[in-house]
Structure 1
Amino acid sequence: MPQYLTLLLDCPTVIAAIFISGIGGTFQYGFCVSVMTSPSDFIKELVNKTCLQRYSVSLDPWQVSLIWSFTVSIFCIGGLLGSLVAGPLISKYGRKQCLLLNNFVAIFGAVLMLLSQKAMSFEMIMVGRLLYGINAGVSLSAHTMYLIECAPKRLRGMVGVTIATFISLGKFCGQLLGISELLGTEDRWPWLLGFNGFTALLQLVTLPFLPESPSFLLLDRGDRPACEKALKRLWGNKDYSKEVDEMMKEKAALQSVRSHSVMELIQNQSVRWQLLTIIVVFTTVQLCGINAVYFYSFDVFRAAGIQEQQLRYAALGTGMCELSTSIACFMIIESTGKKVLLFRGYMAMCATLVLLTITLYLQTQVSWMPYCSMVLIFMFIFFFASGPAGVTAPLPGEIFTQSFKSAGYTIACTLNWTGLFVLGMLFPVLVENLDYFCFLIFLIFCAICGLYVRFNVPETKNRTALEITTEFEKMHCKSGESKKKTTEQEFSGITTIETKF
């Protein structure tokens, strides 16, 4: 690990790219996921006051809850819209330009949040959440693609983990700023909801000093001098001729091939296993039970004797656990391998869910059982953050060649947002009917994904997209023999290309 850390420290511009792209990228997603918990009572009160002032109508509790639920879930609708438009925008304008323009969406949403209380308009919060969702949907794709393509091949796993680290940092900051000592008060909650605008402004000011993605410059625009200039700024005066040669081989393999649409990716048989991998992994990351564990953590903390007013501080512990584990994953991923982290993570999560179901069942019968449940909650968060959370986000950029990347990220992010929305709608029903036995459903998803990765996905560490494509073919060819040719079936026909490494 020190070897890889030394290599990263030798690339200060890459480190700057990690922080600058992250603070206006996946940080926004994580912050929006956790920030609505603290001001929920104040927003519900605003809904009631608005209707009373405008229409002289006092809403019933179920009506307020319905409006509140829609306000929270509209973020997912915005995220889905953002992920659908992200692919074409990224392919046309570039990763950096897309991130820059995306900041204006977040800033406009933040202005609406800040003015909502004075304007006595809960609708402004809804529109702001929708805009935040669009911003997060675009940034999930643009941030990931930009960062992975700016990193040296040997460091892509380590750099890729930071995408999940900034999600965890966003969640933790949302929890931390939401406490009553900071912004979680009746007067300051609009500033809490508008915090995204400040992080977007920070990226808007600093990102122009960073170069565009070298892969985009060479493979999409065909500008080799600009690509080499960007590599020099990112990696310093190192010998990057090997990386340029690998990109040139990919460019030759994709000569006269345009960026593919989502439908073309779905219909293309040559990348069916890569597509299936994205479907399985991104569906599972939302349905693995992490949100259910966070939900039940409050009940477990209460049973363990933690006072009601101290629960939000205990919740900060879960956020800190995820953040610190994500940083630990950053340290070990290059030496361990991504496939191993995914498989071990999901298998360990399966075992933890079984034990957690048992301890929750016995929670009222054995006095010390809530403490066991509390330990298992932290263990589950640890296993999630140390593998699936860090490895999943950059996966489409690693297993797809340049012409399929945008479409791959569009599908991945669409699955992510759809899963988050469906879980938000169905989870209350599952809890009401199954209680803690709902963990057994999540256990099935974890087991299926872990076993699928173990037997159907090659290791991606230190490999190019073409090499990974070859490995997929070796694993799934009917004869079981290794092939020296990579066959890419394009939408318009089949092109067989001799690859040499």
Structure 2
Amino acid sequence: MSKRFLDEYEPLLVKKIKPAQQTELPNLLLAAFSACIGGTFQYGYNISVINGPTEYVHNFINQTVSDRYQTGISDYLLTLLWSIIVTSLAIGGFFGSMISDTLALKLGRKGALLANNIFAVMAALMMGLSYPTGLYELLIVGRLLCGINAGIGLCVQTLYLSEIPPTTLRGAMGIGTCVSITFGIFVGQVVGLKEFLGKEELWPFLLSTTCIPAFLQLLILPFSPESPRYLLIDKGDIDGCKKALKQLHGARYEQELKDIEEEKKNLGSFKAKTAWEVMGDRSVRWQLIIICLLNAAQQLNGINAIYFYANYLFKEAGIPNDKIPYVTLGCGACECVTALTCGFLIDRLGRRVLIIGGYGIMSVCCILFTLTLSFQTASPVIPYLSMVCVFTFILSFGMGPGGVTNILSAELFTQNARPAAYMIAGSVNWLSFFFIGIVFPFIVIGLQQYCFLVFLAVCFFTALYIFLFIPETKNKTFLEIQNKINPSKNENHTDGSETVLLSTSF
């Protein structure tokens, strides 16, 4: 983080925080950066970096099969192998999500993030060795390991970012998950250009670069503290909690310590719940429904369809084929900008305004896409209207669902259920990602441009559900959020945990 950036922006950020809530902003930003660079940055990076060398990997598989069996490979089998390589990321992500809560509890949030880099380094080694050894199977193993790394990172990093900032900065800090994903996608697109590593002889090195963010995190993250909430509530380490709060929040840390102690007291004899216990707990059933719906909608809302149609729309608008990758790069840059903008607005406008507005605008874009694709040749202006829709949809996604979903997943649960809730939410997210990857091509073939009507239904009903059933969580402690969800919650804790019933009368 440059000194110039801190000189310009730290006074602006600190000015908006009450004197009693000022933080050691550089330490907080360093902790967030170090968590993100080896966490969800890897998720976004590995989604996009595989697109550049597609043709070269196809050639490698063809040559490998020919050398092994002295025969060519059918187009069907080649497509199947490529699909397995690509979707292995989602399968690994699902398994990574399944073990994330155990790692977060056993090793701590910081310890789990550091240990997670083992999978990234092993993945880089597997994919780098695939070409010299002539084993395309190593690409599948490498992508599977990348997925495990991304699955753990997506859950644990978001958990860490939700627990280290003061209440007034929790939304802005939590948006780091979305920013790092979109920045990872953008960097993967840049590195995959032919001017960098997007050449046929360099594709093994391109796929191996996933180890670089891992090494960066291993160098930087040890200087940041463990989550103060984890130290006090999970481990009972009051001295460690105070030390971490002082490092992250500065001298005025007493209010945040008081909030954590109040949460610990409210939880009674604390015991972190497993995923099975959380799923069987009727007191958090509606919270689980909310986060499962939001995480499924995040993958099923049509953002993948937009990127699928983007090249076609750009080509119809008269953009030369060799320039289309750079326009696609502009889409990635737009998503980064909106994610950053969401970070500045989320604690000012609130979560509900951004996510409902995002899904609302995306619903309108789905209607416009259906119309413009249906009448693409009716006027020379139509292709340009389609391009405007592409950028508007991406901007709306980054400003709303892309940025807010993970924050809400953290804020609707208290400490004893939060790691397991993240594991469940992450699993749903990855399963939805895998589902859309498998089913989406058939949806496009069957419905063509009318596939956006399916995504219209997803966006519209998700926005309606949020409007009716999800409360605003801006500037509220985790306990205040629980009390707002159910003002009449039972104060008698028979099992040492907090009993919360989700009311539908917000």
TM interval, short-chain normalised: over 0.9
Structure 1, residues 295-332: CA drift from partner, whole Å, max 9, x if none?
11111001001111211111101101101111111111
Question: Does 2:302 match 1:289?
Answer: yes
Match of 2:485 among 450, 467, 472: 472
Match of 1:300 among 291, 296, 313: 313
Give the AA of the match of 1:325: T
Match of 2:72 among 48, 55, 58: 58
Question: Does 2:153 match 1:139?
Answer: yes
Structure 1, residues 181-240: CA drift from partner, whole Å, max 9, x if none?
1110011111211111011011011111111000000010011110000011112222x2
Q: Aligned-pair RMSD on alpha carbons?
A: 1.7
| Superposition TM-score, scaled by structure 2 size | 0.93
Structure 1, residues 340-379: CA drift from partner, whole Å, max 9, x if none?
1111111111111111111111102222100000001100
Query: Residue 12 of structure 1 corresponds to which residue in structure 2?
Result: 26
Equivalents in 1 of 2:415, 2:260: separation in Å? 10
Query: Residue 175 of structure 1 corresponds to which residue in structure 2?
Result: 189
Give the AA of the match of 2:478: A
Match of 1:113 among 120, 127, 136: 127
Judging changes above 3 Å, is the alpha-carbon distance between structure 1 residues 197 and 364 closer, same or farther for their aligned structure 2 residues? same
Equivalents in 2 of 1:228, 1:465: separation in Å? 19
1:145–1:394 Cα contact (<8 Å) kept: no
Query: Residue 452 of structure 1 corresponds to which residue in structure 2?
Result: 465
Query: Residue 94 of structure 1 corresponds to which residue in structure 2?
Result: 108
Structure 1, residues 437-465: CA drift from partner, whole Å, max 9, x if none?
11111111111111111111111111122
Query: Residue 225 of structure 1 corresponds to which residue in structure 2?
Result: 239
Query: Residue 415 of structure 1 corresponds to which residue in structure 2?
Result: 428
Give the AA of the match of 2:417: F
Query: What's the secondary structure of 1:38's corresponding residue?
Result: coil
1:269–1:489 Cα contact (<8 Å) kept: no
Correspondence 1:115-130 to 2 at 5 A: 115-130=129-144
1:163–1:390 Cα contact (<8 Å) kept: yes
2:23–2:249 Cα contact (<8 Å) kept: no
Question: Does 2:357 match 1:380?
Answer: no
Query: What's the secondary structure of 1:27's corresponding residue?
Result: helix
Shift of the alpha carbon at 1:396? 2.1
Gaps of 5+ in 2: 1-8, 501-506
Query: Residue 152 of structure 1 corresponds to which residue in structure 2?
Result: 166
Equivalents in 1 of 2:293, 2:164: separation in Å? 27
Shift of the alpha carbon at 1:394? 2.4
Give the AA of the match of 1:117: Y
Judging changes above 3 Å, is the alpha-carbon distance between structure 1 residues 253 and 494 closer, same or farther for their aligned structure 2 residues? closer
Match of 1:314 among 298, 315, 327: 327
Match of 1:248 among 247, 255, 261: 261
2:267–2:496 Cα contact (<8 Å) kept: no
Give the AA of the match of 1:93: L
Greater shift, 191-200 or 54-63, is seen at 54-63
Question: Does 2:247 match 1:237?
Answer: no
Structure 1, residues 143-186: CA drift from partner, whole Å, max 9, x if none?
11111111111000001111100000000011111111111001
Question: Does 2:406 match 1:393?
Answer: yes
Give the AA of the match of 1:364: T
Equivalents in 2 of 1:178, 1:460: separation in Å? 39
Shift of the alpha carbon at 1:45? 0.9
Correspondence 1:289-368 to 2 at 5 A: 289-368=302-381
Equivalents in 2 of 1:450, 1:128: separation in Å? 37
Query: Residue 476 of structure 2 corresponds to which residue in structure 1?
Result: 463
Query: Residue 478 of structure 1 corresponds to which residue in structure 2?
Result: none
Judging changes above 3 Å, is the alpha-carbon distance between structure 1 residues 126 and 496 closer, same or farther for their aligned structure 2 residues? closer
Give the AA of the match of 1:362: F
Match of 1:33 among 47, 57, 60: 47
Correspondence 1:477-488 to 2 at 5 A: 483=488, 485-487=489-491
Paired residue total: 486
1:178–1:192 Cα contact (<8 Å) kept: yes
Query: Residue 4 of structure 2 corresponds to which residue in structure 1?
Result: none
Shift of the alpha carbon at 1:60? 1.1
2:38–2:213 Cα contact (<8 Å) kept: yes
Shift of the alpha carbon at 1:430? 0.2
Question: Does 2:437 match 1:436?
Answer: no
Query: What's the secondary structure of 1:393's corresponding residue?
Result: helix
Judging changes above 3 Å, is the alpha-carbon distance between structure 1 residues 494 and 150 closer, same or farther for their aligned structure 2 residues? closer
Query: Residue 480 of structure 1 corresponds to which residue in structure 2?
Result: none
Correspondence 1:255-294 to 2 at 5 A: 255-294=268-307
Query: Residue 85 of structure 2 corresponds to which residue in structure 1?
Result: 71
Shift of the alpha carbon at 1:489? 7.3
Equivalents in 1 of 2:201, 2:73: separation in Å? 23
Shift of the alpha carbon at 1:493? 8.3
1:4–1:334 Cα contact (<8 Å) kept: no
2:267–2:498 Cα contact (<8 Å) kept: no
Equivalents in 1 of 2:31, 2:361: separation in Å? 33
Shift of the alpha carbon at 1:333? 1.2
Equivalents in 2 of 1:252, 1:196: separation in Å? 42
2:352–2:472 Cα contact (<8 Å) kept: yes
Give the AA of the match of 2:317: A
Q: Which runs of 4+ in 1 moved over 4 A?
A: 5-10, 485-490, 492-497
Query: What's the secondary structure of 2:417's corresponding residue?
Result: helix
Greater shift, 299-308 or 256-265, is seen at 256-265
Judging changes above 3 Å, is the alpha-carbon distance between structure 1 residues 197 and 495 closer, same or farther for their aligned structure 2 residues? closer
Greater shift, 459-468 or 378-387, is seen at 459-468
Judging changes above 3 Å, is the alpha-carbon distance between structure 1 residues 297 and 234 closer, same or farther for their aligned structure 2 residues? same
Judging changes above 3 Å, is the alpha-carbon distance between structure 1 residues 351 and 362 closer, same or farther for their aligned structure 2 residues? same
